[in-house]
């Protein structure tokens, strides 16, 4: 079953059918039937899907994706997406890129504010959950098969906490506490912590970024916009000129995507250096996150970038950057690192959580 295609029937997660057992808010053994609206609200795009939860299964009724910034509010986008039968929705769950406090969130990379109470009132829905998009991503791991993961580091099969890190328009991070039976996701805004350079080139990069942004977070270097900023820095440092054909391609397409594509094809040394720095930064921050959470249960890498380029990443660069923490290198060597290939993981997590709220 190809779970990147939402026109499928999905079994609700169970310990026996998923790669991870997540702790959903389920009160009863048998799930209640109903209609679930799920959303993954990101800085670039918002994925919406309407599911029917019936007899322990989720069936997609409708799904679409919209440019986030082309709409003035989440409510208006939903009304455009689902123009009829609004009152039939029984639960709504949103994963939103931003810090959620008491069911409210102001987007970091988009201009919306979202209020769960307003959504419940507008659509006359009793069950509404607003969570960080990375929490939704973590819950979505319960929907995946082993084939939807790409292993970067095998590690061991030790139990314990797990983490997820997702570079995209921004940099998302989430922890998953292991209670001995299930994983319990909890939100983090670790992507906004300070970037820490480790050598002279990275110190110069920090200075360059500090002049532009005044605060250099990991998100500034480990994201889509960050790839382009690092590329520009390397151009400046090397006093190089971009070939005209690359410039033209960047004007027509997303420059960060162009850089990674050209790097993978081996058509530009500076593009390759940019991709290798991205890979190194991903490894370093993944290791730091793992140490802070003692994530012996594994590291999962998601987001909109890595699943598309993992086959072209230099895994030696990743491993060198990852196993570089002095006295705790032995611990890092035991931690599995896997890339989540399913781009709809956050949407599936929101759908599963929304279905669980019906119980």
Collapsing DSSP states into helix, strand and coil, what is residue 190? helix
Task: Specify the pTM.
Answer: 0.91
pLDDT for 312-324, tens place per residue? 999 999 999 999 8
d(CA 108, CA 119): 20
Please, where in the chain does CATH 3.30.420.40 lie? 9-143+344-356
Does the structure show a pLDDT above 80 at 177?
yes
d(CA 292, CA 218): 15
Q: Are 89 and 67 in contact (CB under 8 A)?
A: no
Instruction: Write down the H helix ranges in the chain.
Output: 74-81, 116-123, 133-140, 200-213, 218-221, 224-238, 244-252, 255-265, 269-293, 306-309, 315-322, 329-332, 345-356
**Helix (H) / strand (E) containing 10:** strand 9-11
**Helix (H) / strand (E) containing 271:** helix 269-293
pLDDT for 22-65, tens place per residue? 888 765 555 578 999 999 998 889 999 999 998 888 899 999 99
pLDDT for 183-197, tens place per residue? 999 999 999 999 999
From the CB of residue 337, how many other CB atoms can be counted at a distance below 10 Å?
25
Average pLDDT, the chain: 90
Which of the four pLDDT bands, split at 50, 70 and 90, describes residue 10? Answer: confident
Which burial class, exposed, middle or buried, applies to 29 when counting CB atoms under 10 A from its CB (0-12, 13-18, 19+)? Answer: exposed
Per the listing, tokens 């890092």 go with 332
Domain 191-340 CATH (choose: 3.90.190.20, 3.40.50.800, 3.30.300.30, 3.40.367.20): 3.40.367.20
Under CATH, which architecture does the 9-143+344-356 domain have?
2-Layer Sandwich (3.30)
Please, where in the chain does CATH 3.40.367.20 lie? 191-340
């Amino acid at each position: 079953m190809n779970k990147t295609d939402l026109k499928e029937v999905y079994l609700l997660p169970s310990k026996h059918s998923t790669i991870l057992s997540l702790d959903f808010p389920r009160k009863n053994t048998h799930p209640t039937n109903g209609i679930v609206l799920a959303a993954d609200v990101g800085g670039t795009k918002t994925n919406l899907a309407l599911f029917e939860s019936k007899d322990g299964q989720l069936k997609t009724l409708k799904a679409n994706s919209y440019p986030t910034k082309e709409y003035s509010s989440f409510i208006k986008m939903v009304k455009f997406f689902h123009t009829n039968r609004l009152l039939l929705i029984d639960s709504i769950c949103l994963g939103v890129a931003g810090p959620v406090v008491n069911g409210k969130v102001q987007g970091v990379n988009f201009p919306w504010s979202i209020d769960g109470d307003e959504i419940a009132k507008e659509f006359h829905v009793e069950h509404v959950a607003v969570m960080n998009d990375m929490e939704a991503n973590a819950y979505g791991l319960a929907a995946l098969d082993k084939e939807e993961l790409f292993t970067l580091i095998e590690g061991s099969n030790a139990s314990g906490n797990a983490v997820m890190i997702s570079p995209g328009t921004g940099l998302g991070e989430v922890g998953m506490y292991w209670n001995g039976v299930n994983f319990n996701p909890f939100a983090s805004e670790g992507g906004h912590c300070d970037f820490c350079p480790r050598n002279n080139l990275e110190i110069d990069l920090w200075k360059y970024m500090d002049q532009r942004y005044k605060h250099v977070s990991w998100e500034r270097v480990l994201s889509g916009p960050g790839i382009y900023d690092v590329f520009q820095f390397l151009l400046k440092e090397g006093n190089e000129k971009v070939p005209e054909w690359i410039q033209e391609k960047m004007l027509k397409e997303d420059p960060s995507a162009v850089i990674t594509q050209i790097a993978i094809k081996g058509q530009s040394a500076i593009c390759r250096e940019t991709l290798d720095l991205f890979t190194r930064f991903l490894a370093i921050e993944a290791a730091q996150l793992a140490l802070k959470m003692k994530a012996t249960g594994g590291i999962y890498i998601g987001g909109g970038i890595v699943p598309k380029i993992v086959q072209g990443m230099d895994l030696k660069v990743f491993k060198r950057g990852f196993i570089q923490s002095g006295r705790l290198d032995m611990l890092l060597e035991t931690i599995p690192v896997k890339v989540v290939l399913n781009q709809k993981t956050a949407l599936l997590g929101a759908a599963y959580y929304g279905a669980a709220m019906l119980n």
